[in-house]
Amino acid sequence: MASFFNRMRSSAGPSSQSSGLSPAKKDPNALQITPLEKFLLDAPPGPLREDGSDKFWGLENFGNTCYCNSILQCLYYSVPFREQVINYPKRTPLEAVTTTSTGQSRIDPNATILPPNHPSLTPARLVKQQPQGPSSARTAGGPTTTPKPEDKEHPEYKKRVAQARGPTISMTHDNTAAYGMPESLFTSLKDIFEALLAHKSNVGVVSPNKFLEVLKRENEMFRSAMHQDAHEFLNLLLNEVVANVEAHSKTLVDEEEERQKGMNCSVDKTEFEQALASAMPKVAPGNTGWVHELFEGTLTSETKCLTCENVSQRDEAFLDLSVDLDEHSSVTACLRKFSEEEMLCERNKFHCDRCGGLQEAEKRMKVKRLPKILALHLKRFKYTEDLQRLQKLFHRVVYPYHLRLFNTTDDAEDPDRLYELYAVVVHIGGGPYHGHYISIIKTQDRGWLLFDDEMVEPVDKSYVQNFFGDRPGLACAYVLFYQETILEAVKREQDAESLAAAAKAAAEVSKEPVGLGLKTNGFMNGIHHVKSVVTPATPTTEETNGYTSLDKVVTETSPLVEPPPQSPNEVTALPQIPASEMPTEDVKSKKERAKEEKERRAIARISARQEEKAEKERRKNLENKRKEMSKKADEDTRAAIEASKASKVEEDHRVAFENGTREAPKEGHSGPLGGLSRLKSTSKSFRKPRIFSREAGREEPVADADEDVASPTGQENAERPERSRHRFSGLRKRGSNMKLL
C-alpha cells in the first residue's frame, strides 16, 4: 500500500494536475487536486465572502453520522437559514470564533491546503478510515463487495483524500460565551457555521465533534452509533433551534428590560463590527421566529361530519411535509394524494362537536400557508405488517426542479407560489436500519455539489435527477428541499446558465492557446463536467499570476458592460455584449448572478404589472443603447482592449484593497452595481407582510395531536411508534382561529 502511494507521488509531474476531473484516467495522481479544487480553480472565487456562500467544506463522519452531515449541509446552504443562524443573536466578531476564551488560537484561518507531499498525506492516514457500514450499502448494488482501496472513483478513497488534504477544523470547543447563550444544539450549529465563515480556505473538512456531543447528550435516541433517520434528525434539529432561540430571547428580553436601551444590544461595537452589520441584513435580537418564518407552513384540515354535514376546520403548523409514495409517481402526485379526501370511519371516527359523538366523517388536508422553504419528506420507510418492521420502498418517484403546490386551500395566499429545488438528501441502502446519506445541494453560484461526508464534488445539474429510486445502487431521494422563488428569478438563472455554458465553452477555447497548466482533459471528456453554473471570474490577488490571460479577458469589457441600474430584473443586462470577446459572459453572468442572489433573497411577490412597466421602459432604453453600441462595435472592440488594461489594474487595486480591509460588501467582487441598494430596500419591504404570519405560527401550542383528527403524521406515528417522540413537535403548535388573510 505504502509503496503504491509513494510511487504515485514520485511520478507527480505537471501533467498530473490534469487528472482533476477524470481521475479514472490512467494518471494515478488524482491525489494532487480534487475535482472540487479543480472546479474552484477554474473560476477563482474572488475575495472571501462574509456570507459564507463560497465555503464548500466536507463534514467528518464519526461512524454513522452521515444523517447529521447531510442535513447540516442542506441547512448551511439554505441561505436565509444560514444568515439567521449567523446573525442571531448578533454577528459574532471574527476573533471570538478563531480564538478560545484563553486567547489561544483555535483554528488557523490562514491554514492552506496541504501540499501534495505533505507528511499528513501518508498512506496510513489515507487508509485510516476503513469503510464502515455505509460502504456495504454502496456496493450492494453490484457484485463487487470490497473495492480496492486505491480505486480512485470510490467514495471512501475520495473522502480520505479530502480529509488528508485538509484543512480541517475540529469543532471541539464551544463559543457559547460570545453568543451569551447556554450550550445547545443551536450554539454548536452556529459554531460550525461561524468557523466555516471565518476560515480562509474555501474547502476543507469540519469535524462536528461538539455538535454530535450535544446531540447525543440531549437526545437519547441519537446516542447509539446506529444508523439514524435523516428526516427525524432534521425535524429534531429545527425544533431544537426554535427552542434554543426562544429560550435565549426570553432571557434577552428580561435583560433588555433592565437595560432599558432602545439601541442595539451590543454597545461596544467595533468599527469592524459595524461594517459587518451594515453588510448583513440586520436581525433584531428579539426576532426569534425565523425558523418558523422559513420552514413553517400551515395545514388546514377540513373535516366534514357525514351525519350533520358540519364542516370543521383546524389549522396546524408544519415544518416539513411527509408524503406517502406510490409506484411510478411524481412529487406533485404525492402532494395531491396527501390532500385527497380520507374517510374517518370504524375505529377512526371523528368526534363531531355538533352531533356530540363519534361520527363518520370526510377529512382532507390542504396547505393554507405555504412555507418559504418547503422540506418534503418522501416516506420511503414504511412499516410492513408481514415483516413486522420498516421496509424501504424503492418506488420511482420523480421530482422536478421546480414545483408549485396544487393542494392549497382556496383562500391560501399566493397559491401559485413557485418553488425551486435546491437540496436533495439521498439515502443509499437497502433498508431503513442501515445505509448512508448524502446530499446534493445547489449553491448560490457554483451550481450543484455533491456532499458525501468529507467529500465535496461538483456535479452536473442532471445528476440531481439520478435518484428517483429506480436505478441500481439503492440510492433514492429521501428529503427534498424546495425554496420559494419567482419565475423571473428562474428565467434569469436559466439565462445565466445558458450564458455560463456558452462562456465556459468560449473560455475553453480562449484558454487553450495560452496553455495554462491547469487545462484538463476533463472538459473534453464528458459534458457532465461542463458545469452549468456561472463562474465568478474576478481574480484574487493571489491567483492573478496563474491567470493573467483570463484576467485580461474577464476585465477588459467591464467598463462597457454597465448593468442597467435600478432594474430589479436584469434580463436586459444580459446580451448587452458590446465587443466580440466571449469571456465577457463571465462578467455579465456573474453580475446577473449576484443580482439574482439578491433578488432571490428578497423573494417577493411584486405586482406583475409594475414589473412589466419597468421592464418595458428599461427595454426601450436599452434598445437605444444597443443601437448605438452596435454601430460602433468595432471601435468598441478596440477600445475594450485598451480599457481592459486599465481596468485590470483598477480591478487588481480594488481587489487588493478589499482584501486588505475586508470591508467589501458581500457582492463587492461583482463590481459596482448601482441597483443593489435599491434591491436591498425592496427586499425588506417584501419581507414585511410575512411577519404577522409568523406570529400566527406561534399560537398557543395544543398539548397533543388529537386522536379523532388524524394529523398528517398520524400514520407515521403508527408506523414508528418508538420514534415519534421527537417528530413533529412543530406540528403540535396549532391555532384554531387563525386569520391569515
Partner 1 sequence: MFVLPPPPRYPVSQPTSSPNGVPVQNPLVEMSNVLTHPSGSEYQLSVGEGTYFLQDNLHLATPPPHPQDAPVTNPNPLATTPAPPKAGIKLSMCITSPRKSIPSLYRQAAPSTGSNLGTYSIKEHEKESRSSHDTSSDGATAQFASSSTSGRTPIFGEDNSALTPIAGKEGVKRKKPKTSLVKSNSQFISRVIPHDQLSKRLQEHNAEGIFVFANIDRAYQWLDLSSPAPARAQPLMKILFAKAHMLCHDINAFTKGPSHIDVIMGASTGDIVWFEAYSQKYVRVNKNNIISPSAISSIRWLPGSENLFLASHMDGTLIVYDKERDDAAFVPETHSTPPNTHIPNGNGTTTDTDPHPLHINKSVNSKNQKSNPVASWKISNHRILAFAFSPDNRNLAVVSEDGSLRLINYLKEQLTDLYTSYYGAFTCVTFSPDGKYVLTGGQDDLVSIWSIVERRIVARCPGHYSWVTAVAFDPWRCDNRNYRFGSVGEDRRLLLWDFNVGMLRRPKAASIRNRDRASISSCAPISRNRTESTQVPVGRLRSTSSLSEGPVGEDELIEHEVESRTVTATLPPVMSKVIDEHPLSWVGFEEECIVTACGEGHVRVWRRPVDVVGAGDG
Site for partner 1 in 374-403 (CB under 8 A): 396, 398, 400-403
Whichever of 21 and 664 has its CB closer to partner 1, that residue is 21
- CB count, 10 Å around CB of 137? 20
Whichever of 305 and 475 has its CB closer to partner 1, that residue is 475
By annotation, the residues acting in catalysis are: 66, 436
Is residue 528 near partner 1 by the rule CB under 8 A? Answer: yes
> DSSP string covering 8-27, please?
HHHT--GGGGGGSS-TTSS-
Diameter over CA atoms, the chain: 86
Whichever of 415 and 701 has its CB closer to partner 1, that residue is 415
Whichever of 184 and 589 has its CB closer to partner 1, that residue is 589
Q: How far is the CB of 149 from partner 1 (least distance, A)?
A: 14
- Strands 56-59 and 203-207, bridge-based pairing: parallel
Interacting positions 327-346 with partner 1 (CB under 8 A): 328-330, 332-333
- Distance CA(269)–CA(448), nearest Å, equals 37
Question: 495, 551, 658, 716: which one contacts partner 1 (CB under 8 A)?
Answer: 495
Interacting positions 657-696 with partner 1 (CB under 8 A): none
Interacting positions 278-317 with partner 1 (CB under 8 A): none
Interacting positions 147-206 with partner 1 (CB under 8 A): 147, 153-155
- Distance CA(422)–CA(66), nearest Å, equals 19
- Distance CA(546)–CA(533), nearest Å, equals 22
φ/ψ region of 633 (left if φ > 0, alpha if ψ in -120 to 50, else beta) reads alpha
Rg (C-alpha) for the chain, rounded Å, is 27
CB 174 within 8 A of CB 188: yes
Is residue 526 near partner 1 by the rule CB under 8 A? Answer: yes
- Distance CA(545)–CA(549), nearest Å, equals 9
Is residue 510 near partner 1 by the rule CB under 8 A? Answer: yes
Q: Which residue has the cell 459596482?
A: 672
- Distance CA(247)–CA(252), nearest Å, equals 9
Is residue 562 near partner 1 by the rule CB under 8 A? Answer: no
CB 366 within 8 A of CB 446: no
Is residue 272 near partner 1 by the rule CB under 8 A? Answer: no
Is residue 326 near partner 1 by the rule CB under 8 A? Answer: yes
Binding residues for partner 1, total number by CB under 8 A: 93
Is residue 575 near partner 1 by the rule CB under 8 A? Answer: yes
**Binding pattern for the stretch 431-470 against partner 1, x by CB under 8 A and - elsewhere:** -------x-----------x-x----x-xx-xx--xx---
Is residue 142 near partner 1 by the rule CB under 8 A? Answer: yes
Residue 420: closest CA among 488, 356, 369, 360:
488
Question: 99, 170, 541, 637: which one contacts partner 1 (CB under 8 A)?
Answer: 637
Q: How far is the CB of 418 from partner 1 (least distance, A)?
A: 6
Whichever of 8 and 449 has its CB closer to partner 1, that residue is 449
The counts of H helices and E strands in the chain are 23, 21
Q: Where are the beta strands (DSSP E) in 56-126?
A: 56-59
Question: 284, 509, 691, 718: which one contacts partner 1 (CB under 8 A)?
Answer: 509
Residue 289: closest CA among 480, 484, 80, 479:
80
Question: 634, 635, 642, 707: which one contacts partner 1 (CB under 8 A)?
Answer: 634
SS3 content of the chain, % helix, strand, coil (to 5): 45, 15, 40
Q: How far is the CB of 527 from partner 1 (least distance, A)?
A: 6
Question: 33, 195, 212, 506: which one contacts partner 1 (CB under 8 A)?
Answer: 506
Is residue 494 near partner 1 by the rule CB under 8 A? Answer: yes
Is residue 24 near partner 1 by the rule CB under 8 A? Answer: yes
In the 8-state DSSP scheme, what is residue 461?
G
Is residue 247 near partner 1 by the rule CB under 8 A? Answer: no
Is residue 141 near partner 1 by the rule CB under 8 A? Answer: yes
